[in-house]
Structure 1
């Protein structure tokens, strides 16, 4: 082998093994992504159902409202891009939707179980979404059936539907549960009583996954735990903490979220024994997100417990929600965004900013926050 050939081979091997470790391990080829969840991953379901978000939403990336409770992209958006997929269209958004590479059933403020405080309410805590997890799953079943009927009929809509094998070979992602906890807290349910409710709640969460496995042939599941709820401005405002942790978050609320996560992880372990052919990745979003509060300056953030878009209150969540206008002290005022959303962890008191979502995805994309330590591109691999 001459020197030129050896050099070219060396360069090829470097790029293949060092710069492209996922390719070297034969990345999974997911034809579609199907997502279930709440506002952390809703790409338009809520706004289609209840009305559009104010002008300021979506400004960082989409340059206007995009159906997301954020100034830009969500973790699910970054994940879709990393897998070579289009942004997911919401199942309920019929205008301009493309479901060829999957569908999103998530909705802002959706819980796992039927909500007791139901939208719309004009005052905090505002209520929760009647399109809860069970309804989302029913929508998925309808979608799976109807999409194949549309494909079989041919015509111009055929190409907008997923192929039949997408349901077995697709990636199923989940990010839901936080609204069940906050709803119970807002109803003054004691922490001990909430903990007693959680085993049944987790059974309700895992039941549809078993159906996806048995009836639709699904084999790859990517499950996020719930984040540090005690750091969210709306929780800190509505439920002023008696005790805060080292970064100023509500200790009791964050402890409850971690208790939920411990049961969720146990439920995932149980699922693995019941669904032996499934590859189920448990993702510790909580730790990834909390790391931003521990070292905000490291990531370029300031005022970590304050909403970027809002008006009033210790955490810039109180007098007005993002985009709202009202007369206060004789003057008409509007709750507008902060000067630089890229420097904020939280967008509107409820949801994370694009900047925070981007960093969190970069963290979980390493596999360091997952059990087993899968990259999204290798989620189909059982370990």
Structure 2
């Protein structure tokens, strides 16, 4: 009982929150160099190649990097992954795929994007991309420390290791080509707002919402510049979602009616405005770079406000358990029943959308932003 109380306490805070031979590598490099066609659903502009998707960020795009660390921000157990390939809980914070899996699929790279720390990661997966993202991560170091996740600084160290492995596999010239032409995706910020600023009164004594969101946006800009220094030229920085409308935040701070929490959404929008401005500066000043701000706020809000238009029936609760508070350790096969029709729900648990919701959003974003990645 004490353990359950402890887990519950920490989850509330969180809410507020294989090596290959040289011969194999040589053979694979030859195959990679002479294979350029894909079966993706997205039609890329003529003469444009996207060899990989490389991802940094938080639980939205974590595919299991937290599985072997001591943290409550992990989900390598059922019912997570109930709709993933074979119903396997891989550490993805969803019933199925996460957005970057779907992006990889749409681009014709591979059906899903593996976690870099996955012990079953195959060498042939490296040239087409991986995710370094970690549940609980934030732009502000304290945010990640609270959740016990992998900070962005460590994600970058894993990236350095990835580059060295890639060079051993396909050579320096091909590695440089992959890095310069890949899509670098950075999705972060939700935890800073929900789990840090609004969850820890001492933080609010040091910052107000304006200065805190400025810190977030400035750290995001610095991270993008670091990626550019590593050779990245197509960098996508995602804004924060309407964090005040996710089920857990409605439950914790939305009052008896569980309304969307206005001050949380205002903070998300304030951060988004500052991040967008910083991205505009980077796109004008970094030579040969495409740095693009991606608005996720309104596409998700549209699903929440008008669920019926997209075939959803429930948008204010998650599918797992009561849908009010269950996420990570509270969403498990022993304590939380799963709704029989996941496709009826915008949210899988009380913090993360379902695969179906992600698919709708990714298609919307590709339609809106795809050409901006290349022109």
Normalised by the size of structure 1, how large is the TM-score?
Answer: 0.77
Q: What is the CA distance between 1:117 and its match in structure 2?
A: 7.3
Cα distance in 2 for partners of 1:130, 1:48 equals 11
1:213 maps to what in 2?
Answer: 228
Q: Deviations over 1:149-169 (max 9, x none)?
A: 45569xxxxxxxx83421122
Quote the residue 2:167 is aligned against: 148
Give a deviation string over 1:94-123, Cα, whole Å, max 9, x none. Answer: 3233212112111111111212574xxxxx
Deviation readout 1:158-193 (Å, 9 max, x if unpaired): xxxx83421122111111111111121111354971
CA contact 1:171–1:220 (8 Å) conserved in 2 = yes
- Alignment CA distance shift 1:117-1:281 (3 Å): closer
1:281 to 2:296 alignment: no
Contact 2:143/2:192 (<8 A) preserved: no
SS in 2 for 1:306: strand
Would the alpha carbon gap of residues 259 and 217 (structure 1) be closer, same or farther in structure 2, given more than 3 Å must change? same
Give the one of 281, 285, 293 matched to 2:304.
Answer: 293
- Structure 1 position 193 matched with structure 2 position 236: no
Question: What's the Cα RMSD here?
Answer: 2.7
**1:6 match:** none
Cα distance per residue 1:286-339 (max 9 Å; x no partner): 110000112111112123111110247xx2549x821163xxxxxxxx212112
Aligned to 1:323: 332
1:80 to 104, 108, 132: 104
The alignment's TM-score, normalised by the length of structure 2, stands at 0.79
User: Which residue of 1 is the match for residue 84 of structure 2?
Assistant: 61
Aligned to 1:95: 120
C-alpha distance 172-52 of structure 1, shift in aligned 2 (>3 A): same
Q: Distance in 2 between matches of 1:308 and 1:283?
A: 27
Q: Tell me which of 114, 124, 132 is aligned to 2:141.
A: 114
CA drift of 1:89 comes to 1.6
Gaps of 5+ in 1: 1-19, 119-126, 154-161, 326-333, 368-373
How many angstroms apart in 1 are the aligned matches of 2:91 and 2:223? Answer: 26
The 4+ residue runs of structure 1 with deviation greater than 4 A are 150-153, 189-192, 241-244
Secondary structure at the counterpart of residue 261 of structure 1: helix
Distance 1:60 1:381, change over 3 A: same
Compared with structure 1, are the counterparts of its residues 45 and 75 closer, same or farther at alpha carbon in structure 2 (3 Å cutoff)? same
User: CA–CA distance in 2 between the matches of 1:49 and 1:151?
Assistant: 31
Residues 57 and 65, structure 1, Cα contact 8 Å, conserved in 2: yes
**Structure 2 gaps, min length 5:** 1-40
Contact (CA 8 Å) 2:52, 2:128: kept in 1 or not? Answer: yes
Does 2:61 align with 1:37? no
| Cα displacement (A) at 1:379 | 4.7
In the alignment, what sits opposite 1:163?
A: 175
1:230 pairs, out of 244, 249, 252, with 244
